[in-house]
Chains A and B, each alone.
Chain A
Amino acid sequence: MIRGSAQVESVASEPRIGVYVCRCGGNISDVIDTEKVAETIKLVPGVRVSKVHSFMCSEPGQAMIAEDIKKEQLNRVVVASCSPFLHELTFRVAVRRGGLNPYLYEHVNIREQGSWAHHGDPEGATVKAIRLVAAAVHRLYHAEPLEQIRLPSHRRALVIGGGIAGLKAAVDLAAKGVGVVLVEREPELGGRVLGLARLFPTDDSGRAQIDRLVREVCNNPNIEVLTGTVIKGVSGFLGNYDIAVGPALAAGAAGVDVGGAKDKKLSVGAIIVATGHDYYRPSLGEYGFKRYTQVVTMPEFIDLLAGASGDGIQWNGQRIHRIGFMHCVGSRQIEGIHPPQGDGKVNDYCSRVCCTTVLHQAVHAKRRFPNLAVFDFHQDIRTYGRLHEDYYRRASEAGVIFFRFHGDDPPLVEEGVDGFPIQVRLKDWLTWGEEVVVPLDLLVLAVGMVARDNRELVNLLKLPTGADRFFQEVHPKLRPVETSVNGILLAGSAQAPMTIEETLASASAAASKAACLLAHDSVELEPFKARVDADKCIGCGLCFPECAYEGALVRTSVEREGKTVTLAKVNPGLCVGCGACVPVCPTRAIDLQGWTLNQFEAMVDGLLSAPLPSKEVTSESSSHGQTH
């Protein structure tokens, strides 16, 4: 079973491997005996250096690798630390700084898959770490230097969604000389913001901000605007996406297209998804919605207030004297208390903007109509942003009356008495949880933000969404506007609820990322792609049906002994490196660069032949029937 040493001899250049075990400042070493891992791994053939450091990712840690490569003439490196997701790239770069090909590097995760997963079992975690590192060392016996694949790319981006996020991303990118195609489903640009009569914190109308951006968009020759248009097809990869667009069908009128939009093909290098959000739509009877005409949503109220004449707010021909604002409608929901949404989940997130919107509108209403009685029903007041707290203070000073409810006991909306159409009944936790009844003429539901139902787009782009149904970024801090699909970026409230300011920031950040990706006329892709050894390929074609990515495998004709034969060939741009083609090849002609079958076999050998600290593993080694 233990063939490890025999394998080593078959490797052309004698491996000189450096192994570095990270304590992660205690995150790892509090559980795993990192010193023992480093000590034990020295016994694996080919390991020249084996060291421990508090933070391998820190400058001294990285510098140590680079130095050892030179001093000890290392030709392979292993770091055992956190998830490769965090630091694989860091160490590849460090290895390159030492003068070595960055793909002669292997990353072992002994934190997420070690110390954190097995914190109750230090010895077991230590043994596992040793085995994993040994496997990595064995894998490196067969590692070859690889080069990134450089492909020409289009210096042009597709922006999906012509709301404020899409408009902003488009003008930013265009200013950098990147061509932009802006696709909007509706006949008009502007999205949700267009419909908002008064925004915080500027007190502008939404239209003013949108008009300014639309003007910039229309005056910029680098931007092509396609309204009434939707995405019909997406293929390709970073730098080389092929997009099919076509007319959006007008709602309810199947087959009727909107405003002359046509079917069209586009070639772009990157895609910015700026499809925005929807307002939460209360269910029938939720806080009296649709049961009482005096219950309206916030967007309706903003219009109502903006349109109110000098002598007061009118609703349904009635003059409004007492108005209430209900926070968190469709947000901060609790399982078991609130009915689930269509997908069986509740909206357990905070919608972020509604508290400030309520108080901004309340202050404005009180300023216009000082005699209006205003009541606010909240759990917490979340006026976190710049100037937002000011609305809270001004609302209190203007006499807005606040009530606080607990999320697990939401207020009830009932038919009113004494001439009031409705009333709100709640336990008010600003007064001992006393039950109070507040008669009202109008109740405004501060409806939260929900993800748009974008199933088609999600499928076309193959984008992940979170439990909250919004698009999911790769990592909230390391890569906050990127998705797991290379070259597809997120802008605005398609990602999560956010204010207009925050949406603009995210749009510019996405534009910046796109500008970075498309800074040159080529892009670089990781080399982990399938490769066909033309000498071994017999042209049987068995691999073709296994490949799920159109165009990744192509047929190519070559002359062999005077005859023309058809062989398989890989298009590295479209190959995702899944390896599905590898096992069906009868001649082992097709293999995955960086993840060859030889390497997998060697890893298994490494796992099984790992030298283990004898004391701790007697029981385990006997159970495996291993003898040393």
Chain B
Amino acid sequence: MQGANFDVVVVGGGISGIQAALDLADQDHKVLLVERAASIGGKMISLSKTFPTLDCSSCITTPKMSAAFHHRNIQVWTSTEVERVESRDGVRKVHLRKHPTYVDNSLCIGCRLCEYACPVEYPDPFEEGLGAQRAIAVPFTNALPQKAVLNPRYCIACGACIKACPTDAVRFDQEEERLTVEAGAVVLTTGFVLNALELKREYNAARSANIISPLQLERLLAPHGPYGRVLRPSDGKVPGNVAFVLCAGSRDQSIGVPYCSRFCCMYSIKQAMLLSGALPTAELTIYYMDIRAFGKGHEQFYQNAKAMGIQFVKAKVASIEPVTGDDLSLRVELEEEGGRVAERRHDLVVLAQGAIPVFEPSKALNTPAAEDGFLRQPDPVRITWTGVEGVFAAGCALGPKDIVDSIVEAGAAAMEASRFLALRAAGGSPGKEPDQLTNPIET
């Protein structure tokens, strides 16, 4: 693997990375798709259904995952993290860290016998901590590749998996590898993470298990989720009065996220709709500042939600306090009543956390980040270019955006990267772009 050469390295195997890789591969470029998790699929593979069409998320992610995985022009390396990308002298050097999975992938047949044999259980990261996972396991049902991964934090080294494995694939002595690959171009699709649930201290998420993250609710709503139904975490009660607090980590200068996370209004509406299907008698309230239903079909989706009886309350949620019965009391300033303060009681609260970058441009690409922390977009007509020669980006790596916008942008980044390679092959100097580019995001 060391020193391998690719036309393009795509960093991050979420939906953006998968789409960019497919577009590039279909144009006959040799692509390496690198994903630091044990499976490709990104956030999208763990979602329940997707707005605004409410189609099942795994059902529309898996075909793309498998198309990329089996494409003759794409190699997929999972459990591999990109640490740094260098762009110098016309070459992109991508420095990778291959995490040990303690399983030899060339031998593992994904039979899960090790998983069944393992005596240790820990909170399942794919289920956002709500279900249990064995210390060695195939990460989730539709993970790709279907290879077992051992989590050394929980492994007690009992050796049960070694005995159970029919192909002798378990390797307790596997070590981390560092390697560098070269590429003509790089596409960064490293996506986003949500900021901490406990970030807004006045919301007291640390003090109640019933203040949950929207990703947890996605899993609760997924047809194949951890409990098979929606239960609240503290006591397994079926919730009857659920609050969604929007902008609970965005549009807030005090926590360093002044921007809008763009998809939380819509996924909260979606989640409320799905909840009203799962729990027809539950009261559902969305506390919002503005409802940002701006995409194709989104406003209509929002109006449907209103017609279904979901309550939309324009209010700032000042604080959340745990109260008796594991319930929660919300102090809300009702903006439509001139800021009158009211106390509202709910038995489950979902905080629409803000979306923040995972990739640090200054460390990993030797280029400054934009003011919002995401990669820069310095060229107004080549919007997927990062300002570094041969390095492009798409999806949530360029700021939060929904799946449709991410996929379209991924196609654009693929085009830009392919165009870059074509111009270079033709002896042009694609790196020569207008010198003085205004960077609106930085000013």
Residues of B close to A352: CB separation below 8 A: 294-295
The contact of B440 among A59, A202, A429, by CB within 8 Å, is A202
Residues of B close to A519: CB separation below 8 A: 26-28
- A82, CB-defined interface residue at 8 Å: yes
Among listed A19-27, A237-245, A294-302, A555-563, interface-contacting one = A19-27
Q: Name the distance in Å between B287's Cβ and chain A's nearest Cβ.
A: 14
Q: Name the distance in Å between A437's Cβ and chain B's nearest Cβ.
A: 18
Residues of B close to A97: CB separation below 8 A: 70
In whole angstroms, how far apart are the Cα atoms of A383 and B146 in the complex? 41
> Which residues of chain B from 250 to 266 have any CB-CB distance to chain A below 8 Å in the complex?
251, 253, 258-260, 262
Residues of B close to A495: CB separation below 8 A: 296
Does A477 lie within 8 Å of B338, measured CB to CB?
no
Q: Which of A59, A385, A510 has the most CB of B within 10 A?
A: A59
In whole angstroms, how far apart are the Cα atoms of A332 and B399 in the complex? 26
The contact of A59 among B66, B336, B404, by CB within 8 Å, is B66
Residues of A close to B50: CB separation below 8 A: 477
- B171, CB-defined interface residue at 8 Å: no
The contact of A386 among B63, B228, B381, B399, by CB within 8 Å, is B399
The contact of A506 among B251, B253, B299, B408, by CB within 8 Å, is B408
Residues of B close to A425: CB separation below 8 A: none
The contact of A509 among B141, B297, B299, B409, by CB within 8 Å, is B409
In whole angstroms, how far apart are the Cα atoms of A495 and B441 in the complex? 27
Does A509 lie within 8 Å of B419, measured CB to CB?
no
Residues of B close to A496: CB separation below 8 A: 295-296
- A409, CB-defined interface residue at 8 Å: no
> Would A349 and B300 be within 8 Å (CB), given that A54-B141, A213-B381, A476-B404 are in contact?
yes
Among listed A171-179, A259-267, A567-575, interface-contacting one = A171-179
- B214, CB-defined interface residue at 8 Å: no
**Quick one: closest A residue to B314, CB to CB?**
A429
Does A380 lie within 8 Å of B290, measured CB to CB?
yes
Among listed A86-94, A274-282, A530-538, interface-contacting one = A86-94
- B119, CB-defined interface residue at 8 Å: no
Among listed A44-52, A250-258, A456-464, A497-505, interface-contacting one = A497-505
Residues of B close to A470: CB separation below 8 A: 296
Q: Name the distance in Å between B255's Cβ and chain A's nearest Cβ.
A: 14
Does A176 lie within 8 Å of B27, measured CB to CB?
yes
Does A386 lie within 8 Å of B441, measured CB to CB?
yes
Does A480 lie within 8 Å of B260, measured CB to CB?
no
In whole angstroms, how far apart are the Cα atoms of A55 and B146 in the complex? 13
Residues of B close to A201: CB separation below 8 A: 440-441
Does B224 lie within 8 Å of A204, measured CB to CB?
no
Residues of A close to B251: CB separation below 8 A: 389
Contact digits for A184-209, partner B, Cβ 8 Å, 1 yes 0 no = 00000000000000000111100001
Does B258 lie within 8 Å of A209, measured CB to CB?
no
Contact digits for B407-442, partner A, Cβ 8 Å, 1 yes 0 no = 111111111101100110000000000100010110
Interface range on chain A (Cβ under 8 Å from partner): 35 or more
In whole angstroms, how far apart are the Cα atoms of A312 and B81 in the complex? 56
In whole angstroms, how far apart are the Cα atoms of A477 and B57 in the complex? 10
Does A505 lie within 8 Å of B383, measured CB to CB?
yes
- A393, CB-defined interface residue at 8 Å: yes
> Which residues of chain A from 475 to 519 have any CB-CB distance to chain B below 8 Å in the complex?
475-478, 480-481, 495-496, 500-502, 504-513, 515-516, 519
> Would A478 and B63 be within 8 Å (CB), given that A430-B336, A516-B23 are in contact?
yes
- A138, CB-defined interface residue at 8 Å: no
Does A386 lie within 8 Å of B259, measured CB to CB?
yes
Does A505 lie within 8 Å of B63, measured CB to CB?
no
Does A24 lie within 8 Å of B296, measured CB to CB?
no
> Which residues of chain A from 120 to 155 have any CB-CB distance to chain B below 8 Å in the complex?
none
Q: Name the distance in Å between B112's Cβ and chain A's nearest Cβ.
A: 9
In whole angstroms, how far apart are the Cα atoms of A203 and B412 in the complex? 23
Residues of A close to B298: CB separation below 8 A: 350
Does A477 lie within 8 Å of B60, measured CB to CB?
yes
- A384, CB-defined interface residue at 8 Å: yes
Residues of A close to B309: CB separation below 8 A: none
The contact of B337 among A89, A175, A432, A480, by CB within 8 Å, is A432
> Would A203 and B262 be within 8 Å (CB), given that A93-B70, A175-B423 are in contact?
no
**Quick one: closest B residue to A356, CB to CB?**
B294
Contact digits for A21-41, partner B, Cβ 8 Å, 1 yes 0 no = 000111100100000000000
Does A389 lie within 8 Å of B59, measured CB to CB?
no
Does A511 lie within 8 Å of B440, measured CB to CB?
no
In whole angstroms, how far apart are the Cα atoms of A209 and B262 in the complex? 26
- B56, CB-defined interface residue at 8 Å: yes
The contact of B142 among A59, A90, A350, by CB within 8 Å, is A59
> Would A57 and B63 be within 8 Å (CB), given that A382-B292, A506-B412 are in contact?
yes
> Would A432 and B336 be within 8 Å (CB), given that A350-B294, A352-B295, A516-B27 are in contact?
yes
- B205, CB-defined interface residue at 8 Å: no
Number of chain B residues close to chain A: CB under 8 A: 85
In whole angstroms, how far apart are the Cα atoms of A212 and B224 in the complex? 51
- A390, CB-defined interface residue at 8 Å: yes
- B64, CB-defined interface residue at 8 Å: yes
Residues of A close to B403: CB separation below 8 A: 477
Does B336 lie within 8 Å of A429, measured CB to CB?
yes
In whole angstroms, how far apart are the Cα atoms of A511 and B417 in the complex? 12
Residues of A close to B175: CB separation below 8 A: none
> Would A332 and B299 be within 8 Å (CB), given that A203-B440, A350-B293, A384-B294 are in contact?
yes
Residues of B close to A516: CB separation below 8 A: 23, 26-27
- A526, CB-defined interface residue at 8 Å: no
Does A478 lie within 8 Å of B64, measured CB to CB?
yes
- B240, CB-defined interface residue at 8 Å: no
Residues of B close to A63: CB separation below 8 A: 146
In whole angstroms, how far apart are the Cα atoms of A55 and B298 in the complex? 29
> Would A481 and B296 be within 8 Å (CB), given that A55-B62, A429-B336, A505-B383 are in contact?
no
The contact of B66 among A90, A209, A509, by CB within 8 Å, is A90
Residues of A close to B23: CB separation below 8 A: 509, 512-513, 516
Residues of A close to B382: CB separation below 8 A: 504
Residues of B close to A404: CB separation below 8 A: 314, 336
**Quick one: closest A residue to B15, CB to CB?**
A477
In whole angstroms, how far apart are the Cα atoms of A141 and B247 in the complex? 58
Residues of B close to A477: CB separation below 8 A: 50, 53, 55, 60, 403-404, 407
Q: Which of A334, A348, A480 has the most CB of B within 10 A?
A: A480
Residues of A close to B296: CB separation below 8 A: 349, 468, 470, 476, 495-496
Does A25 lie within 8 Å of B141, measured CB to CB?
yes
In whole angstroms, how far apart are the Cα atoms of A382 and B294 in the complex? 7
In whole angstroms, how far apart are the Cα atoms of A24 and B294 in the complex? 31
Q: Which of A350, A429, A495 has the most CB of B within 10 A?
A: A350
Q: Name the distance in Å between A518's Cβ and chain B's nearest Cβ.
A: 10
In whole angstroms, how far apart are the Cα atoms of A320 and B372 in the complex? 36
Q: Name the distance in Å between A261's Cβ and chain B's nearest Cβ.
A: 27
Residues of A close to B438: CB separation below 8 A: 202-204
- B58, CB-defined interface residue at 8 Å: yes
In whole angstroms, how far apart are the Cα atoms of A393 and B416 in the complex? 33
Residues of A close to B65: CB separation below 8 A: 59
Does B440 lie within 8 Å of A209, measured CB to CB?
no
- B335, CB-defined interface residue at 8 Å: yes
For the complex of A and B, list the 3 residue pairs with the smallest distance between their C-beta atoms, beginning with the closest: A509-B411, A26-B223, A58-B142
22 A–B contact pairs at CB < 8 A?
A26-B224, A57-B62, A59-B69, A59-B144, A93-B70, A168-B381, A172-B416, A176-B419, A177-B422, A202-B380, A202-B440, A204-B380, A387-B440, A404-B314, A478-B60, A478-B63, A496-B295, A501-B380, A504-B412, A508-B411, A509-B410, A516-B26
Query: Given known contacts A57-B59, A508-B412, what 11 new A-B pairs fall within 8 Å (CB)?
Result: A27-B59, A177-B422, A385-B260, A386-B441, A389-B251, A393-B253, A432-B338, A476-B404, A501-B377, A502-B405, A509-B411
List the interface of chain B (C-beta within 8 A of A): 23, 26-28, 50, 53, 55-56, 58-60, 62-67, 69-70, 110, 141-146, 222-224, 228, 251, 253, 258-260, 262, 290-300, 303, 314, 335-338, 370, 372, 374, 377, 380-384, 398-399, 403-405, 407-416, 418-419, 422-423, 434, 438, 440-441
